[in-house]
Every structure is written in structure tokens, then in C-alpha cells.
């Protein structure tokens, strides 16, 4: 089910091996796909190489080889002319090589902080057409225990559900499908940008029935839904509920669509951006229109046809 054709991981210009490299190198080897590594792009890059600094390409190769020295890996690097890339140059590299999945780990030490607190991170996520996986340093070397897939029960949410199912199957994690029920109007850019039922007459029991119906109708045919899947209906603010549920799991991965805008893929959805600003959990941001990482299947009906 999980079938990216290429992975790219930008690395900070330090001698230590980033924690994110350990799972990513193994994923690339397991899937037998190219792994691209680049320097971490900077908002204000240096104009020239720092004297006596190792060449970026050689340093990147050393960092990867330190993880699996004998690995049979299709490693792609480039003879970078600068020690630091601009974000625009990095985005151009991602587009030129048609990267399916970009993996980002904050290049900062200290206490865990949301990725969007890193200068330039929002431009890195919003400025590419690839799916983006964010890995916090503290959990980068651990296996996911839970894959959390929030849904608004719409047909537009089905590709993101399939990505969550594929990731759960690939990592052997439990899949948790979450529907948030709120009685307050949640301000969003588009109807698909809402992870809530705003019907004041709806009840958790009705919402749970709709969630079961939606999930069993749209689950990917290659995914064994009986194996390790839990369906949840919670009440509250969507952003706060998603982050709170994720924090209750040992090593969670939140799966959300990067954008729901019908024409612009370089704009993060309101919900996704707010969750990114609130959580330090790992997140997979999908862009199924541009880079689906899962085999697609036709849908039979729209979500509004699901009986209530």
C-alpha cells in the first residue's frame, strides 16, 4: 500500500548524524527507492563556503553512511556550490526531481518545539508539491505506535484516510480514525477544511454511526480494517482535540491533508497550519492530487449521501 517513489531529507550542516536519518535510510532501503539528501535550506544563507568547512556533498554522504555503512542504497546528492541553500533553490531541487515525500526534522536543539517555529519551515512545507513528513527529534528513532487520522466524513478526506492506512500497515502501528463533534462554528477557508459536524442536533451516538458507515465504505481494499483500527468520536475544538488525542499515545503520527484549496496547493489549510503550530508530534501532510503515495481506488458515493 505504502509506495512513495522517492524520499528527500534535508540535513543540518553539523557533524552529528540527525536522528531522522535512521528510519528514513531504512525505509528507502526497504522500499528500494532513491533517497535524496540536501543541506537544510536557510532563510539567510552564507554567500560562500566557510573556510575549512567540509564540502556539503561529502558531509551528507558521511552522515548517511554512518547510519548503515554497508547498506545497498540508491543515494542521491549533488555538488552544492554553497554551504547553505536558499529556500527557493531547495524548492527548485524538490520540483526538478519530482520528489514524492519530503522528511523534515527541526535542525534545532533544546526543548521540543513545533516545526513552524523554525525560520523558513512554513515556506519549505507550503512551497513544495510533495507530501511532507515531520519527525520530532525525540521520536525520530522510534517506531510509531498509533497513526491518528482525523476526518470530516467527506469524500475529499478519503485519500488522506488511505495514506493513514498505508502508513499504519507499513509501520505496524494501530490506526485511530477520529471525528470531532463540536457545537461551535469552526471558522475555515472551505467546507472541506472543517473537521467537525456543526449540526447542533447531532449526538455522539449519531456521529459514531456515521463514522462507522463512512469508514467501512471508504477503507482501502488492501487494508485489513479488522486488524488494528479504532474509531473515535470526540467533542470539542478540532485543533485542541486532535493535539490532545495525539499526545495521549506513546509515539503518534497525525495524518492530515496539507491543503484543501481547489486550485492552490501552496497554501496550508487552516486546520493543518494550526495543528502544526500547536503540536510537536510527528505529522504526515498529504497532497494526493500531486503526489499520492498510495494506490488510488474509485469512490462510489459522496459523504453527504451517508445516512444519518
Rounded to whole angstroms, how far apart are CA atoms 115 and 150?
Answer: 20
Domain 146-154+167-305 has CATH 3.40.140.10: no
Rounded to whole angstroms, how far apart are CA atoms 130 and 124?
Answer: 10
Rounded to whole angstroms, how far apart are CA atoms 75 and 94?
Answer: 15
Contact 160, 258 (CB under 8 A): no
Q: What is the pLDDT of residue 125?
A: 93
pLDDT tens track, the chain, 308 positions: 889 999 999 887 665 667 778 888 889 999 999 999 888 887 765 554 443 445 567 777 777 777 766 666 788 877 665 556 789 999 999 999 999 999 998 776 667 788 888 888 999 999 999 999 998 876 666 789 999 999 999 999 999 999 999 999 999 999 999 999 876 544 555 555 555 444 545 678 889 999 999 999 999 988 876 668 999 999 999 999 999 999 999 999 999 999 865 555 567 899 999 999 999 999 999 998 888 899 766 554 333 344 44
Q: What are 7's strand-pairing partners?
A: 35, 101
Using DSSP's 3-state secondary structure scheme, residue 163 falls into helix
CATH architecture of the domain with range 7-137: 3-Layer(aba) Sandwich (3.40)
CA-CA distances (angstroms) from residue 274 to 27, 198, 215, 256, 271?
29, 19, 25, 12, 5
The length of the chain, given as a count of residues: 308
Contact 290, 265 (CB under 8 A): yes
pTM equals 0.84
Q: Is-same-fold flag (7-137; 146-154+167-305)? A: yes
Rounded to whole angstroms, how far apart are CA atoms 281 and 254?
Answer: 7
Domain ranges of the chain: 7-137, 146-154+167-305
Rounded to whole angstroms, how far apart are CA atoms 152 and 180?
Answer: 8
Half-sphere exposure of 190 (CA within 13 A, CB side): 15
Q: What is the pLDDT of residue 50?
A: 45
DSSP strands (E only) in the chain: 7-11, 35-39, 75-76, 101-104, 131-134, 146-150, 174-181, 229-235, 252-257, 282-286
Amino acid at each position: 500500500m505504502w509506495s512513495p517513489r522517492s524520499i528527500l531529507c534535508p540535513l543540518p550542516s553539523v557533524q552529528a548524524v540527525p536522528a531522522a536519518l535512521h528510519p528514513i535510510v531504512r525505509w528507502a532501503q526497504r522500499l528500494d527507492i532513491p533517497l535524496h539528501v540536501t543541506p537544510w535550506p536557510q532563510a539567510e544563507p552564507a554567500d560562500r563556503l566557510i573556510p575549512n568547512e567540509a564540502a556539503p556533498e561529502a558531509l551528507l554522504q558521511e552522515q548517511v553512511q554512518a547510519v548503515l555503512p554497508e547498506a545497498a542504497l540508491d543515494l542521491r546528492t549533488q555538488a552544492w556550490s554553497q554551504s547553505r541553500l536558499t529556500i527557493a533553490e531547495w524548492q527548485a531541487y524538490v520540483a526538478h526531481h519530482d520528489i514524492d515525500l519530503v522528511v523534515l526534522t527541526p535542525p534545532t536543539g533544546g526543548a521540543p518545539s513545533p516545526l513552524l517555529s523554525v525560520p523558513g519551515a512554513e515556506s519549505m512545507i507550503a512551497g513544495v508539491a510533495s507530501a511532507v513528513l515531520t519527525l520530532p527529534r525525540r521520536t525520530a528513532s522510534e517506531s510509531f505506535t498509533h497513526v491518528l487520522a482525523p476526518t470530516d466524513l467527506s469524500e475529499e478526506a478519503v485519500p488522506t484516510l488511505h495514506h493513514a492506512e498505508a502508513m499504519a500497515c507499513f509501520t505496524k502501528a494501530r490506526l485511530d480514525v477520529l471525528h470531532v463533534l463540536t457545537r461551535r462554528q469552526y471558522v475555515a477557508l472551505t467546507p472541506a477544511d472543517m473537521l467537525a459536524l456543526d449540526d447542533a442536533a447531532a449526538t455522539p451516538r449519531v456521529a459514531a454511526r456515521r463514522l462507522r458507515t463512512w469508514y467501512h465504505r471508504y477503507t482501502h481494499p488492501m487494508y485489513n480494517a479488522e486488524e488494528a483500527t479504532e474509531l473515535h468520536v470526540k467533542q470539542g475544538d478540532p485543533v485542541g482535540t486532535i493535539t490532545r488525542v495525539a499526545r495521549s499515545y506513546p509515539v503518534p503520527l497525525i495524518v492530515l491533508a496539507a491543503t484543501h484549496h481547489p486550485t492552490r496547493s501552496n497554501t496550508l489549510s487552516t486546520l493543518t497550519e494550526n495543528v502544526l503550530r500547536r503540536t510537536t508530534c510527528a505529522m504526515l501532510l498529504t497532497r494526493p492530487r500531486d503526489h499520492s503515495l498510495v494506490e488510488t481506488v474509485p469512490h462510489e458515493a459522496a459523504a453527504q449521501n451517508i445516512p444519518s
